[in-house]
């Protein structure tokens, strides 16, 4: 390979790779295989969600009013995904609690993929149940 061919390859490779990061879904790119095949039910959704929240929350101790809806299929970005909705109040550094917030947790290929902060549309009509495991987390 000549010097000019190498130079062209070096210049074009980053552009080609950047195109791979694009997504037609809103939000951050998924790092899991994103197939359009029928999605399996996320069997371990509770344990995966607790493990994620332990690292996601600044202080996993002191969560109140935790509620969760079992995963249901919803259309997200034109694809059917399992979505579980979560509502809780988190303790702040000064000991106060912020108002309850609602988040949607997306699953792809049976595994937790990402959390959607603005979950109003995805969680409409969610059937929330108490989620005491989230309230009893430790560091």
Tens digit of pLDDT for each residue in 36-68?
Answer: 678 999 999 999 999 999 988 888 888 999 999
On whether the CB atoms of residues 89 and 97 are closer than 8 A, the answer is yes
Least confident stretch, 23-27, 55-59, 70-74, 93-97: 23-27
pTM of the model: 0.72
pLDDT at 5 over 70: no
Considering the chain, what is the average pLDDT of its residues?
81
Q: How many residues does the chain have?
A: 139
Spatial CA neighbour of 107 closest among 99, 116, 98: 116
Q: Which residue has the higher pLDDT, 34 or 124?
A: 124
What whole-number distance in Å separates Cα of residue 49 and Cα of residue 111? 10
Taking phi over 0 as left and psi of -120 to 50 as alpha, with beta for the rest, 65 belongs to: left
pLDDT at 130 over 70: yes
């Amino acid at each position: 390979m000549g010097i000019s061919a190498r130079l062209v390859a070096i210049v074009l490779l980053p552009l080609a790779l950047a195109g791979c990061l694009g997504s037609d879904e809103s939000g951050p790119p998924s790092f899991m295989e994103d197939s359009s095949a029928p999605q399996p039910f996320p069997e371990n959704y509770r344990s995966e969600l607790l493990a994620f929240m332990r690292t996601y929350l600044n202080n996993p101790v002191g969560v109140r009013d935790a509620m969760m809806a079992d995963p249901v299929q919803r259309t997200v970005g034109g694809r059917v995904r399992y979505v579980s909705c979560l509502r809780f109040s988190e303790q702040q550094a000064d000991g106060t609690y912020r108002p309850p917030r609602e988040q949607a947790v997306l699953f792809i290929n049976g595994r937790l993929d990402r959390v959607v902060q603005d979950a109003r549309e995805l969680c409409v009509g969610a059937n929330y149940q108490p989620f005491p495991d989230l309230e009893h987390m430790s560091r």
